[in-house]
Amino acid sequence: MATTDGKGRRRGTVRPELKELLAPLGVVPARVDDADARAVLQRDGAVILTDRGDDPEELVTAAGQLLGARLRELFGIRVQHGVDADTLSLHSDGATVTVDVHGRAVRLRDPDEDYLFMLCTRPAPRGGDSVLIDGYGLVEALRAARPELHAFLTTCDVDFFGGWAARPHSVPLTPLVRGLVEHTRRGRRAVRASDYALPVPREPRWDAHLAHLDDYADVLATAQECAARFRLEAGELLVMDNYRFLHGRDAHAGERTMHVMTVRTTEAF
């Protein structure tokens, strides 16, 4: 059963009985050149571009090439640099970060970012392999195997960041209430995961919803444990549908540097 640490982060427990169900959900994206990238992304939802160098501005170029007129909003490029880091559990990108610029509210991040671009400029000497889980496949697998959990994920709201014991500056005090699986008004499905989700405030079925969140954490921990891995090398750029895929990585030794950019398209919430 999942556990929660002092910061409010939920950690799932690997469930051996679920491995056969979840093992096929790991995805290794195709490595392609620029000519085929847009078609592969549309077909598979994820792709790796090769030989993109070490300039973070390649993220902006790739977004324009692959998404074109669908782009609505680009968020700032951020560096993810770590040394001897622990495992990063499966999650969906998105954050609420709004700042005041001369009296005007400016969003630096958005919880509904729908595509993720990640350029590797320094792979870890050991470890740090990436994991992608097909969220659409996960939901369908749970429909038959775990119908009660499937019903919770697809019909109930949660407080997405509610578990934070001491909230960082970027986490709003107002609950962010949403479904872990829901659809945009144009019918696009989003599958989400948050280590800090809680039942919504004053939920009358609080204990049952909390048990489902713990169960979901175990499912994700098991999926990550048995999924296929892939390694991003220097100059490789991963692009993925952030509504479809949950992603994480293995622990690593030594330095690892990624440059990350998220965007919203005309199909986002």
Cα 32 to Cα 49, 50, 52, 238: the distances in Å are 6, 7, 11, 11
CB 98 within 8 A of CB 107: yes
Task: Supply φ then ψ for residue 11, to 5 degrees.
Answer: -120, 125
DSSP 184-223: -TTS-EEE---TT-EEPTT-TTHHHHHHHHHHHHHHHHHH
- The phi-psi region of residue 40 (left if phi > 0; otherwise alpha if psi is between -120 and 50; otherwise beta) is alpha
User: Residue 223: which of 4, 12, 33 has the closest Cα?
Assistant: 12
Separation between Cα atoms, residue 190 and residue 37, nearest integer Å = 22
**173 pLDDT above the threshold of 90:** no
- The structural domains of the chain, ordered by start, are 15-264 (3.60.130.10)
DSSP at 75? P
Q: SS3 for 262?
A: strand
Task: Please tell me which residue, 173 or 43, carries the higher pLDDT value.
Answer: 43
Half-sphere exposure of 16 (CA within 13 A, CB side): 0
Other CB atoms within 10 A of residue 163 CB: 20
Where residue 170 falls among pLDDT bands split at 50, 70, 90? low
Cα 54 to Cα 43, 57, 234, 237, 257: the distances in Å are 27, 9, 7, 10, 10
User: Residue 198: which of 165, 149, 150 has the closest Cα?
Assistant: 165
pTM score of the predicted model: 0.94
Q: Supply 36's token pair.
A: 């085929």
pLDDT digits (tens, 9 = 90+) for 184-214: 998 999 999 999 999 999 999 999 999 999 9
Q: What is the mean pLDDT of the chain?
A: 96
pLDDT of residue 23: 97
What is the percent of the chain where pLDDT is above 70? 99
Residue type, 184: T
Task: Supply φ then ψ for residue 18, to 5 degrees.
Answer: -100, -5
CB 222 within 8 A of CB 1: no
pLDDT digits (tens, 9 = 90+) for 62-113: 999 999 999 999 999 999 999 999 999 999 999 988 888 999 988 999 999 9
